[in-house]
Amino acid sequence: MVFDNIAVPSLYVIKGIIILDNDGNRILAKYYNNSYTTVKEQKDFEKSLFNKTHKGSGDVILLDNWTIVYRNNVDLLFYVMGSTNENELMLNSVLTCLFESLSTMLRKNVEKRHLYDNLDLVMLTLDEICDDGIILETDPILITQRVQLRQDDIPLGEQTVSQVLSHAKEQIKWSLLK
């Protein structure tokens, strides 16, 4: 939003968070604005973004009037988008929080297969970091604690089989340690 050529600060800092694999395929994407209303527009943008960034190790890029910070890890690319007048350090703090939170929860295995296996954790992590483009938290330790708390509070009927088995393993482990 511009008022007499002066950028007005806004809480809606994040315009999108995208995770792509090393082939440019979408793993997860959340857009917090109305710039790309159809899936085709989103996929076209993601393809263009991937083509510009897949050989780099991570940094900042300006593309289609967006400031985008990104990070490359093993077989994944993480992106955080903001407007062109957005502070790159704020966007980078969200990116760092996302990556470090996932790294902690996935026990340093931030890879495509592990991300797919724990997609529920990834989505909860995104929701804890950002809500409709507003940054809520950028401390990875707090995010990890909140996500794991929310995961433990899921009623038994709504848990996935892997969550039930994981919980059962924990119970058995603790009963053996007593």
pLDDT (tens digit, 9 = 90+) per residue, 148-163? 776 555 555 555 666 6
Q: Could you give the angle at the alpha carbon of 118 between the alpha carbons of 28 and 20, nearest 5°? A: 25
Summarize pLDDT for 77-90 with one digit per residue, the tens: 999 999 988 889 99
What pLDDT score does 178 carry? 59
Averaged pLDDT of the chain: 83
Domains and CATH numbers, the chain: 10-177 (3.30.450.60)
Cα 6 to Cα 84: distance, rounded to the nearest angstrom: 13
Evaluate the CA torsion angle 139, 141, 146, 148 in order and state its sign: positive
How far is the C-alpha of 146 from the C-alpha of 39, rounded, in Å?
A: 31
10 Å Cβ neighbour count for 45? 20
Q: What percentage of the chain exceeds 70 in pLDDT?
A: 83
How far does CA 160 lie from the centroid of its chain? 21
pLDDT the model gives residue 120: 85
- Give the model's pLDDT for residue 59: 87
Residue 101 has pLDDT above 80, yes or no: yes
Q: Which residue has the higher pLDDT, 7 or 86?
A: 86
Report, as an integer, the average pLDDT of 96-102.
Answer: 93
**How many angstroms separate the CA atoms of 72 and 58, rounded?**
6
Separation of alpha carbons 151 and 145, rounded Å: 10
Q: How far apart are CA 47 and CA 56, in angstroms?
A: 15
